[in-house]
Chains A and B, each alone.
Chain A
Amino acid sequence: MAFYDKLIESLGLADWCSNEASTGPVSMADLLKQTQGDDSAADTSFWDTPFPSLDELNAACSAIPKTRSVTDGVENSFLSIKDPLKTVLDPITQPLSWALDGSMWLFEALPWFVVIPIFLLVVYWATRSLALVGFVGVSFLFMAFIDHYLPAIQTLSIIFVCTSFSVVLGVPIGILMSRSRSMRRALVPILDMLQTLPTFVYLIPLIFLFSVTESKLYGIAIILYAIVPVIRLTDLGIRLVDKEVLEAAHAFGMTDRQKLFKVQIPLALPNIMAGVNQTIMMSLAMVVIASLVSAPGLGVLVLRGIRNLELGVGLVAGLGIVLLAVLLDRVTKAALARVNAAQKQQ
């Protein structure tokens, strides 16, 4: 006896219910009930009134679907569009795989005594700070010394590629967003969703769409998560450009193109750079989770720490990630400060 039997009967739906017996899947609750034996529920008190949910109504009337059918429905509809989606997405996203694999190959192929000096030169070029160069150098030598050079370089390679893609895609999207109100109205909810979606949830549909052996699988997960701040801050930066300066651009007869490249983007640059900084930090966070779907690097070691309860391995790898985070953050912030100083507003 289910709680809502009386209700179904009084509505005169009993016939309809028994005619169309549900063929829905058996839920765990049903199984438990069967094993425990059905003791009569007729004397359920008022205080125990269950919410009339799908499962509860199904118990009284088998024509009503169970909740499980809903999730099945979602799954089936996703599976049914999966193949067409895959034929479209596969070629579009292929360059991402090439970039990820190519960069990984390059970083691994070059010997450490070439890679580390290149890094130091890049850091110096971006920040003009010898202190930071020293810090980066010591960090790398330390990681190399404890045999974490390879995973660290793999993680960096992934971040490098994903950040580049995020900037190349995100800045134009941000520019479009700053120009049209309807574009912004359409994009803001998507960006909000991307930012609040639990990171693991990104992986679920992607696993179905792409094979786990392809590097673009984790690339896409990272980019989807990390691209949001570049888009947001590009949009913000361009909208914050001093109105009078824009008027001057118009008054002196600039074309839209000149306005964009000579005024809007340069003046929005500090904000765009702040977005890039956040993007880097977010890809670093995601790269650890992405190691669940075969992203190489320090995340794999963290995962090993969890799976095999190898406390030390996990902690040291985690420390390496923190070190990378601090280092990337300091370097991009210093570069940002340099841009800021070069164009402090009046």
Chain B
Amino acid sequence: MSKNPMISIRNLYKIFGDTPDKMMELVRAGIGKEELLEAHGHVLGLQDINVDMQEGETTVVMGLSGSGKSTLIRHINRLIDPTAGEVLIQGDNVLEYDSDRLRAMRRSQMSMVFQHFALLPHRNVLENVALAPIVRGDPSESYDPEARHWLERVGLAGYEDHYPHQLSGGMQQRVGIARALTSNAPIMLMDEAFSALDPLIRTDMQDLLLELQNELAKTIVFISHDLDEALKLADHLVILKDGLVVQQDEPQHILLNPQDDYVVDFIADINRARVLRVRSIMDPISQDSFVGDVDQEASLEDVIALTGGDTSGMYRVTRAGAVVGQLDLKALVRALVRTKASDTRRAF
């Protein structure tokens, strides 16, 4: 991992209620979420969050409803102020910004995509897409081509003069994404951006996002409560539970080494063959007779299809033609079995 993360969240706490600072002392003294709510009427939204988000990567934050995902993402652009802790953007502490500086940061550094699109209903699609430059006060000649370009890029060329209510949900979210891209900000925050869409459209949008991300390499923070979506998009996966980070890592690694029973339950229902990649379970090369070659990015499902059901041989793993390891089909079968929580951590 690179040493200078784009976004770095340090010891972040958020308590909702009338006297959060007073409650903070209790929390530091070790009071739990339930007790804080029952005895003091305060909600412990986030506790001791430490996450680094690397430049050009997609960090997916996932957890059940009420686990604090929206609260967390809103700390990054300070729609919510923390009770304690720091949020660093490229090393700068956002909490020290005054309102002018904060506004400048929101205008140039970050954009956001919302679950229910949050388009301006009284503005047409083009004006919505150009929201960021309009807010900045740029002249229309300078942003017009830009806005049209991104609208075309998300597949909505020709809809410039429509109004949001004339578009379907999927199209509206495309407008939301084009709006975020037009701001030209390096960071893109997406709070359950695809959760309101039906499954087919949702897959489309995920593909669109991956395609754009390949090209633009933005720093994306994506909130989701859908594991398949998270696994598809994430370079770094953060699992939240009741305001606590239970585990964060590269998604394949989490699948193979879940840290506790909560994570085990979380990943229990996914199709492991489709999600796990050869590179995650391959071994260093140690022999020279192989049944065939597979690419390291191939999914286990692809490999099984290749074997035609014969699970005894050994495959050579390649990356762009070069040999990088070997894959024992027995290891493949083992990887398909649901993992238990790793013993080292179960003692916690």
Contacts and interface: CB of A to CB of B under 8 A. Distances in A.
B122 A252 contact: no
Given A251-B110, A258-B135, A343-B163, A245 B77 contact: no
Contact of B103 (A253, A266, A346): A253
Contact of B118 (A244, A253, A255, A266): A244
B135 to A, nearest CB: 5
Interface string B109-143: 01110111111111000000001100110000000
Interface string B213-235: 00000000000000000000000
B147 to A, nearest CB: 13
A252 B132 contact: yes
A176 to B, nearest CB: 21
B189 interface: yes
Contacts of A132: none
B107 A263 contact: no
Contacts of A248: 112, 114, 118-120, 131
Nearest to B121: A343
Contact of B104 (A244, A250, A253, A344): A253
Given A252-B112, A345-B165, A267 B122 contact: yes
A83 interface: no
Contact of B165 (A242, A253, A258, A346): A346
A253 B135 contact: yes
B140 to A, nearest CB: 15
Interface in A241-288: 242, 244-245, 247-248, 250-255, 258, 262-263, 266-267, 269
A342 interface: yes
Interface string B26-49: 000000000000000000000000
B71 interface: no
B172 A255 contact: no
Nearest to B137: A258
B111 A252 contact: yes
Given A244-B116, A258-B135, A345 B121 contact: yes
B130 to A, nearest CB: 11
A260 to B, nearest CB: 13
Contact of A344 (B107, B117, B118, B121): B121
A281 B136 CA distance: 42
Interface residues of B, number: 30
Given A258-B135, A344-B165, A346-B164, A251 B106 contact: yes
B285 interface: no
B79 interface: yes
Contact of B131 (A252, A266, A269, A344): A252
B122 A251 contact: no
Given A244-B114, A267-B122, A346 B106 contact: no
A263 B120 contact: yes
A346 B169 CA distance: 9
Contacts of B67: none
Contacts of A267: 120-122
B58 interface: no
Q: Which of A253, A263, A269, A344 has the most CB of B within 10 A?
A: A253
Contact of A266 (B117, B119, B122): B122
A294 B332 CA distance: 96
Interface in A280-302: none
Interface in B68-101: 74, 77, 79
Contacts of A343: 121-122, 163, 165
Contacts of A269: 122
B183 interface: yes
Interface string A72-92: 000000000000000000000
Nearest to A254: B135
B310 to A, nearest CB: 53
A337 to B, nearest CB: 15
A262 B103 CA distance: 16
Interface in A97-143: none
B107 A252 contact: yes
B71 to A, nearest CB: 13
Contacts of A345: 121, 165
A271 to B, nearest CB: 13
Contacts of A344: 121, 163, 165
Contacts of B183: 252
Contacts of A252: 106-107, 111-112, 131-132, 135, 183
A232 B122 CA distance: 22
Nearest to A247: B79
Contacts of B105: 253
Contacts of A263: 120
A245 B120 contact: yes
Contacts of A262: 120
18 contacts: A244-B117, A244-B118, A250-B79, A250-B106, A251-B189, A252-B131, A253-B103, A253-B107, A253-B132, A253-B136, A254-B135, A262-B120, A267-B122, A343-B121, A343-B165, A345-B121, A346-B117, A346-B119
Given A252-B106, A254-B135, 16 more contacts: A242-B116, A242-B118, A244-B118, A245-B121, A248-B118, A248-B119, A251-B77, A253-B106, A258-B135, A263-B120, A266-B120, A266-B122, A267-B120, A343-B121, A346-B164, A346-B165
The 7 A-B pairs at the shortest CB distance, nearest first, are namely: A253-B107, A253-B106, A343-B122, A248-B118, A251-B112, A244-B118, A344-B165
Interface of A: 242, 244-245, 247-248, 250-255, 258, 262-263, 266-267, 269, 342-346
